[in-house]
Amino acid sequence: QPWQCLATNATAPPLSSLEDSAATFTIGTILSIMCLVGVSGNIYTLVVMCHSMRAAASMYIYIINLAMADLLYLLTIPFVVCTHFLKGWYFGDAGCRILISMDFLTMHASIFTLTIMSTERYFAVLKPLDTVKRSKSYRKAIALLVWAASLILTLPMIVSIQMMTVGAKAMCHSTLSPLSYK
C-alpha cells in the first residue's frame, strides 16, 4: 500500500552520510548562487541609484536603503554556508552576535523602509503637491531614523546572543527565556 511507505519524523531512519552530504551540497550551492546573484544585483542597483540625476527629487534614497539592507543580509550567507559544510560554528562569540543580529537589523530596516515608501506613495496620491515639496534632506533624515529604529530593536538580540558548546559542537544561542518572546 502506498500510504504505508510514508514515515513520520518519529519513525524515519536517520539520513545516511551520503544523503546528508548531498543535501548539504545542494543547499550550499543554492545559497552560494543566491548570494552571488543578489550581491551583484544590489551593487548594480546602488551604483545606478547613486549616479542618477533624479536622486534628489525622488524616493531613490529609500531604494538605496533597501539595496543596502539586502546587501548586508546577503553578506551573511557565506557564513551560513560554511556552518553547514563544517557542521559547526567556527566564527566565535562576536560572529554569533554580529551575524544573527544582522538578520534582525536588515529585516527591520527593510520592513520600515517599505512602510515609509508605501506611506509616501499614499500621500503622493492624496496630496501630490506636498510630496513634491519634500526635500532630499527630509528623506535622508527619515532613512537615518529607519536605521536607528532598526538598530534599537536589534539591541536585545545583540546582547542576548552568545556562543555555547553543546557536546563537541559550538552553537549560537539566545540567553533570553522563552517567556520574553511573548
Total domains in the chain come to 1
Is the residue at 4 inside a domain? Answer: no
According to the model, what pLDDT value does residue 53 have?
60
pTM higher than the cut 0.75: yes
Is the residue at 45 inside a domain? Answer: yes
Question: Which range marks the domain in which residue 27 is found?
Answer: 16-181
Does residue 171 register a pLDDT over 70? yes
Mean pLDDT on 139-156: 94
Is the residue at 119 inside a domain? Answer: yes
3 state DSSP class of 162: strand
Is the residue at 36 inside a domain? Answer: yes
Is the residue at 2 inside a domain? Answer: no
pLDDT band for position 155 (cuts 50, 70, 90)? very high
CATH number at residue 135: 1.20.1070.10
Is the residue at 6 inside a domain? Answer: no
Rg for the chain, CA atoms, rounded: 22
CA 166/CA 75 separation, integer angstroms:
27
pLDDT per residue as tens digits for the range 105-140? 999 999 999 999 999 889 889 988 877 777 778 888
Is the residue at 8 inside a domain? Answer: no
CA 98/CA 82 separation, integer angstroms:
16
pLDDT per residue as tens digits for the range 20-76? 778 888 888 999 999 999 999 999 999 988 887 665 556 888 999 999 999 999 999
Is the residue at 134 inside a domain? Answer: yes
